[in-house]
Amino acid sequence: MEFAGWRGKLGRILPSALLRKVLASQQSGNLPLLASVSRVRSENEDAVRAVADRLGISYSWDENSTSYVTNHESWRLLEAELQLAGMSCYPITELGSYAASSSWAVGLSRLDSRSQGTGARWNVFPGEIEPMHDALDFVGPIDVVYTWVDADDPSWQSAYRRALLQEKGELESSAADLGRFVSHDELRYSLRSLEMNLPWVNNIYLVTAAQVPKWLVDEHPKLTVVDHAEIFDPHCLPTFNSHAIESRLSFIPGLSEHFIYVNDDVFFGQPLSPNTFFGPSGQAKFSLAQGHFADAAEAELPVNVAAANNRELVVSSYGRTTSRKFKHVAHPQRLSVHRLAQEKYEVELAATARNRFRNPADISLPSSLAHQLAARTGQGYSADFDYAYLDIGSPSLTVQALRLARRKPSQMFCMNEVRQPTDIRQRARVVKQLFEVLYPYRSSFEK
């Protein structure tokens, strides 16, 4: 939620230099040089297995949740021995399985709410450990899709300006605002949060305009870079419209039936399981916000305009209206629902794909319409996601950043930039240091 009242006043008077000092104090002073998430977790897993093997404890490996599994009595013995060895056992809030009585992160060094994602994961069952999966568990591959643009690329900027000069249709008011594309290196840290807290994901697809981040590894077994040219008809390109790009996700070659759509300004704050995102039969879970978009103070914002367009489609197909907004979190998706949308609303989605800039007639598919269709066809339902929101341009940024750094992390959080501040560089330094506090370990996707 947005901070207001006294928090906003405090945020305006709290010096950013003081904030950076406080954030610096939150950073761990004993991180291994150039430590990576995968290396730290692997070392933790090796250490716990060694203790378990020495005790002769029976355990199994669950690929679906990337966790070790044992029964309650064995865990009691193992936990006691791990603590005697000076290792840290931290309880994970999100159980790795409905069959588990508890889930734990185990580390060679002290784990806390921010670092628990680097620990070895153990699910503890009250009885026998076979079978490992409960009837309510979702079991199956889950892909992740990111969309990303490098707005600092001179070639991209030139193409943007040329397309803007050639545009003859009606444009959304912010279409000419390059400030919307300011980067704070969000993708790097979102991928760190993903590898820490969702290690079970199958494939990751990064959709870009023939661009890759300079820090991204050249090859990775889990990562595929998808160029716009692979999913768009040539006459639609180049495109600078996020709604258009999102309308073509179902055309990604090899995409799994179940996938999670993640904007690069969304981050994962704690270890989560496949059950967080999908129901036992693969139903996609979505999280409703409190607000009704029809009551929005800024009805002209693209998100609200597209929601109104989505509503008209739902009314025409099902005779039901739509009211509630959806939280700005990671969005679980069904490929079959996207393909259904392409069949039912071929004309509207084709028009959205042709709009090179945001347009008042756009449809927003993965963050809104897909959830409505999934609900109406029994392929999705509402669930509550715990999330936090931080506005980089807010007068109370300092207070928001302090609270985010010091409190127990939410399942997810969004770091957006609704307002365009004048002190961009100063705020960028704050954001960078906050990222390093929350996600100090490199991901395996970084060079």
* Whether the predicted pLDDT of 377 surpasses 90: yes
What span, in angstroms and rounded, lies between the C-alpha atoms of 310 and 372? 9
- The pLDDT of residue 425 is 78
The full DSSP string for 16-32 is: HHHHHHHHHHHS-TTPP
- The pLDDT of residue 352 is 98
Whether residues 111 and 164 share a domain: the answer is no
Identify the CATH number of the domain in which residue 174 sits.
3.90.550
Whether residues 65 and 154 share a domain: the answer is no
Among 9-13, 232-236, 253-257, which is the least confidently predicted range? 9-13
Whether residues 287 and 158 share a domain: the answer is yes
321 vs 394: which has the higher pLDDT: 321
* Whether the predicted pLDDT of 118 surpasses 90: yes
What is the number of structural domains in the chain? Answer: 2
Three-class DSSP category at 396: coil
pLDDT band at 18 (very low <50, low <70, confident <90, very high): low
- Beta carbons of 363 and 348 less than 8 angstroms apart: yes
* Residue 396 included in any domain: no
Q: Provide mean pLDDT across the span 301-310.
A: 87
Whether residues 231 and 376 share a domain: the answer is yes
Of 343, 362, 385, the residue that ends a domain is 385
Whether residues 103 and 164 share a domain: the answer is no
Whether residues 107 and 185 share a domain: the answer is no
- The pLDDT of residue 173 is 63
Whether residues 364 and 304 share a domain: the answer is yes
What range does the domain containing 108 cover? Answer: 37-125
- The pLDDT of residue 178 is 66
Kindly give the pairing relationship between strand 412-416 and strand 288-292.
unpaired
Whether residues 52 and 199 share a domain: the answer is no
Measured from the Cβ of residue 85, the count of other Cβ atoms closer than 10 Å reads 12
* Whether the predicted pLDDT of 2 surpasses 60: no
301 vs 178: which has the higher pLDDT: 301
The 10s digit of each residue's pLDDT in 403-436 is: 888 888 999 999 987 666 667 778 888 899 899 9
The 10s digit of each residue's pLDDT in 245-288 is: 999 999 999 999 999 999 999 999 999 999 999 999 999 999 99
Whether residues 208 and 344 share a domain: the answer is yes
The 10s digit of each residue's pLDDT in 360-375 is: 999 999 999 999 999 9
* Whether the predicted pLDDT of 336 surpasses 50: yes
Helix 424-438 crosses helix 186-197 at what angle (to 10 degrees)? 20
Whether residues 55 and 187 share a domain: the answer is no
Of 354, 385, 416, the residue that ends a domain is 385
- The pLDDT of residue 19 is 61
| pTM score | 0.92
Whether residues 231 and 190 share a domain: the answer is yes
